[in-house]
Structure 1
Amino acid sequence: MSTLIKQDILVELLGNTGNGFEQVRAAGKEAFQAQGFPTNKSEEYKFTAITKKIEQSIQNFAPAGDFAVTAEQVKDNLFEGYAGDVLVFANGHYQPELSSVIDGVEVTPLSEKTDTALGSIAKSEKDPFCALNQSSFESGIFISIPKKSQIQKPILLLNFFKANAGQVIQPRIWIETGDFTEVTFINHSVNLSDTPYFVNKVVEVKGGVNTHIRYYKLQNEGKNAIEASTLETDIQKDGRFTSVTISLSGEMVRNNLSLNILGSNSEGNMYGLYLLNGKSHVDNHTNVDHTVPHAESNELYKGILADSSRGVFNGKIFVRQDAQKTNAFQQNNNILLSEDAVVNTKPQLEIWADDVKCSHGCTTGQLDEEALFYLQARGIAKDQAKGLLLYAFAGEVLEHITDESFREYCTELVQGRLGSKF
């Protein structure tokens, strides 16, 4: 570990113990000091040298503070036709004056909810960046949805990032839903600075019995952004959680997504698309833990990589001894459009039960030349035919987004990237 990171992170970040949660922060600090930043010997970060990247790009480890966001900026960054509610954040700091008042939903700064079970779902001992966030997050938000609430409109978590001299931004979000609820969250970030910065974000979702939660995330930040993102949820009896993660930009991005399946007749769905060019690096680490019988999980991640970009996929499915009648599916498919593009993929199954249906697999290759020839033979130009095939490949993930305005926005971004670059 470099002297630069060791001194600055421990002094500047671990020294931030304000806004309550003293015991939680102390536990995070202890966990981080025990783990340290991941090295090239860390198995979980074997193909993602994020510590080295932070060393090279982040020169000021002081937290990036709050800043003024205008109503016009919020309006300009809403999707065309979006009809949902909006919660606005500036470097992770909640902006209530720019946010919707959502009927029946409690939205409170974490500093006012210090009795929240923060860190009980995304445990700090599992990952150093999760521990770092827990020890030193500056600000955060508590969202609570009462029992039997059907939130018809989506809730947009609109994050504005603006950092100077390579600062650190550490958002923290706690979401809890009562039994028999349904809600959709959209997480979208807007970069207002071209300088390098490091975002270390943790979101914990505590689902109730028979809840249906959708969580969509779009990563389309600055090309100099470094991000470590952790999302972990507990899925209870008869519950369903669906995640869709679209990664389009960023110098180095690490996504940790974990589903803890704790109740029977529940379902966890994880879909991801990474569309990379230049020297972008995106690492998706997923974890599904089946602990009870009669539950299901589905996972599909797809990547299209050009230039010198790099993708990493490491997906783990655990089926515990008591989790009989589990049905688990996992697949990772990649298309490489350059000899310099690289994918490291490792789907994994660990099964201790004997009455299950589980499958996993991965593919990495180039565009189907026969399909390309078929389209060209019918009068379609090569570039257009190539774009059609790539979009058909990516569209299988996009179709899992149920909010029409956000799906169309993502579709336009993907089509624009495929049309202009590929």
Structure 2
Amino acid sequence: MSAPQRFLERLPARSSDEPSWIAARRQAGAARFEAVGFPTRRDEEWKYTDVRRIAEGDFGLAIHADYDRARFDEQRLALDDAHRLVFVDGRFSAELSELDSLPNGASVEPLSRAIDQDAEAIGGALGRLAGVDFSPFTALSTAFADEGAVIRLAPGTAVEKPIYVVMLSRANDVPVMSHPRMLIMAGANSEATVIEHYYGEAEAANFTNVVTEVLLDRGAIIDHYKLQEASLNDLHVASIHVDQTRDSRFNSFNLNLGGALVRNDLVADLNAEGAETTYNGLFFVQGRQHVDNHTLVNHNAPRTFSNENYKGILDDRAHGVFNGKVYVKRDAQQIEAYQNNANLLLSDRAEIDTKPELVIYADDVKCSHGATTGQLDEEAVYGLRTRGIDEAMARALLTLAFAGEVMEQVKLHVIAERVERAVAGRLPERFNLADLVETAEAVQEV
């Protein structure tokens, strides 16, 4: 039996009264996945990422979402003033979710409930951006699609509190897989902050395959945070697809700390004048972790703007991949597109493969891209030590300062602090990031 067939054997029996459109899409996803199978390193888009750990795995499906409330409260972000939707191994947990006091015009609910209540609207949006042909993993996701989060904002709706979606991975006796779908539909001039948070128990060894689709109407603004700090045994594949119309703004914060094998695809289509997208990315990997970030910005219309800044910090024998492409369509004049990838190697055995790309078919544009890789400046380490800071602390501060250009864009303190502590270690006190960056830069200039 082939690996795709073995995975598809896990497909659950479907209800006879489910909408015909979702049954048809699941069948299409299963057929596509069985036909193409898992990607290999012979595929250009997967040249540096070996997914055999996924393909050879034997994963079941979770059947319940039971989890200790006290333990959950200890692990989650300290966001008490947020609208929270929680999934445990891909199963919705009503007990751990808190969705009271949503403003008029805002809806946050599990996908299963949204389909039951408004199948026609969900059917018109789900899978519109992330079709079965995008990758074998989106095909697999489509085959299993039955749960996830649906966020809908009516025109003019502003959600002041963050919308916090938690994907928790348990240490199960038998590893499980989950294929959650995220659907964000933002009406004209609406605004919200959405957090996707992936984490779990230290011994969890599960496979998460998530697809997020974001539809932004005219003037809509979404700040999207993805904080991935899964177990160092977990396998994580994700794709985010964004469709932007006139004057819309999508601000992405892709922060990766955990996972044994991680692949992120991020695609934004700027389809009308005034559309703006910003990609802020940080990946910090240790041991034998592998994190692969593939990003794509399609400038499909004139007078659109994109700015991308990804930073990687790699220690031990970790491996990072960055492949960022900006595509400027013919006649998409007067666009601006900037892309940068900088990487810091803390070990001689760490490895980074980076490939920034510009594909331009217009002539009146402002575009730039670049990539750098280096190690800590030993003179800067020495300079900090002369100020009474021990070597370990000096290296931690300089490492954190390297991440500062990305982290200073993070608007949510609770996320910034979580990431800073992971990058710099457990410092004796909470440092002000701006002060750290200023101190490190001053030392480097001496």
TM over 0.5: yes
Which deviations, in whole Å up to 9, do the C-alpha atoms of 1:288-346 show, x marking residues without a partner?
Answer: 11100001101111111111110000111110012111100111111111121110101
Instruction: Give the superposition deviation at 1:237.
Output: 0.7
Deviation string 1:385-415 (CA, Å, 9 cap, x unpaired) is 2111111001211112112222223223333
Stretches of structure 1 that go unaligned for 5 or more consecutive residues are none
Alignment equivalent of 2:264, drawn from 244, 255, 276: 255
Distance change (3 Å), C-alpha of 1:382 and 1:77: closer
Match of 1:72 in 2: 70
**Structure 1 equivalent of residue 379 of structure 2:** 370
Partner AA of 2:403 in structure 1 = A
What is the aligned partner in structure 2 of residue 107 from structure 1?
108
Distance 1:35 1:237 in 2: 36
> For residue 130 of structure 1, what is the aligned residue in structure 2?
138
* C-alpha distance 17-344 of structure 1, shift in aligned 2 (>3 A): farther
Q: Give the structure 2 partner of residue 29 of structure 1.
A: 30
Q: Identify the residue that residue 302 of structure 1 maps to in structure 2.
A: 311
Quick check: 2:238–2:265 contact (8 Å CA) kept in 1? yes
Q: Find the partner of 1:86 among 84, 87, 107.
A: 84
Aligned counterparts of 2:193 and 2:13: Cα–Cα separation in 1 = 32
Paired residue for 1:315, among 321, 324, 334?
324
Amino acid at match of 1:328: A
In 2, are the aligned partners of 1:16 and 1:136 still within 8 Å (CA)?
no
The separation in 2 between residues aligned to 1:82 and 1:415, in whole angstroms, is 26
Cα displacement string for residues 61-89 of structure 1 (whole angstroms, at most 9, x for unaligned residues)? 33223321344344323434642221111
CA offsets, 1:108-162, max 9 Å, x none? 3323243222111112201110111011124223221111011111111112222
Residue matched to 2:419: 410
CA contact (8 A) 1:154 1:403 kept: no
Shift of 1:282: 0.4
In the alignment, the residues of structure 2 paired with residue 388 and residue 207 of structure 1 have an alpha-carbon distance, to the nearest angstrom, of: 38
Which aligned pairs between 1:351-390 and structure 2 lie closer than 5 A?
351-390=360-399
My pick for the range that moved more, 34-43 or 342-351, is 34-43
Q: Does residue 188 in structure 1 map to residue 190 in structure 2?
A: no
TM-score w.r.t. length of structure 1: 0.92
Q: Counterparts of 2:66 and 2:10 in 1: how far apart (Å)?
A: 23
Cα distance between partner residues in 2 of 1:168 and 1:314: 26
The match for 2:148 among 127, 137, 140 is 140
Q: For residue 437 of structure 2, what is the aligned residue in structure 1?
A: none
**Preserved contact between residue 181 and residue 210 of structure 1 (Cα < 8 Å):** yes
Cα distance 1:417–1:5, how it changes in 2: closer, same or farther (>3 A)?
farther
Counterpart code for 1:30: A
Aligned pairs for 1:331-346 (under 5 A) are 331-346=340-355
Taking the aligned partners of 1:304 and 1:192, their CA distance within structure 2 comes to 23
How far, CA to CA, are the matches of 1:340 and 1:413 in structure 2? 20
2:286 match: 277
Give secondary structure in 1 for the equivalent of 2:35: helix
Q: Report the AA paired with residue 103 of structure 1.
A: P
Counterpart AA for 2:103: D
Aligned counterpart for 1:7 among listed residues 5, 8, 22? 5
Is there any run of 5+ residues in structure 2 with no aligned partner, and where?
A: 429-446
SS in structure 1 opposite 2:165? Answer: strand
Question: What secondary structure, in the 3-state scheme, does the structure 1 residue paired with 2:133 have?
Answer: helix
Deviation at residue 219 of structure 1 after TM alignment: 1.1
**Whole-angstrom CA distance in 2 between matches of 1:418 and 1:247:** 20
CA RMSD of aligned residues (A): 2.0
Aligned to 1:392: 401
- Distance in 2 (alpha carbons) for counterparts of 1:388 and 1:193: 26
3-state secondary structure, aligned to 1:187: strand
In 1, Cα distance between equivalents of 2:137 and 2:318: 23
**Paired residue type of 1:114:** A
Q: Counterpart of 1:22 in structure 2: which amino acid? A: A
Count of aligned pairs between the two proteins: 413
Quote the Cα distance in structure 1 between the aligned partners of 2:273 and 2:221. Answer: 14
Shift of 1:55: 4.0
Kept in 1, the 8 Å contact 2:207–2:234? The answer is yes
Q: 1:346 to 1:417 in 2, by over 3 A?
A: farther
Task: Give me the TM-score of the superposition, normalised by structure 2.
Answer: 0.88
**More deviation, 197-206/116-125:** 116-125
1:40 maps onto 2:45 in alignment:
no
Cα pair distance change 1:74/1:361, threshold 3 Å:
same
Structure number with the bigger relative contact order (C-alpha 8 A, sep ≥ 6) is: 1
Match of 1:227 among 232, 236, 249: 236
Classify 1:81/1:207 alpha carbon distance in 2 versus 1 (closer, same or farther; 3 Å): closer
Q: Deviations over 1:237-277 (max 9, x none)?
A: 11110111111111100011111111211110111111111
Distance 1:146 1:301, change over 3 A: same
Equivalent-residue separation in structure 1 for 2:158 and 2:363 (angstroms):
38
Identity of aligned residues (%): 37
Q: In the alignment, which residue of structure 2 is the partner of 1:159?
A: 167
Kept after mapping to 2: 8 A contact 1:281/1:310 = yes
Determine the structure 2 residue equivalent to 1:325.
Answer: 334
Conservation of the 8 A alpha-carbon contact between 1:94 and 1:141: no
Moved more, 212-221 or 72-81: 72-81
2:93 to 92, 95, 104: 95
TM-superposed CA distance for 1:4, in Å, is 5.3
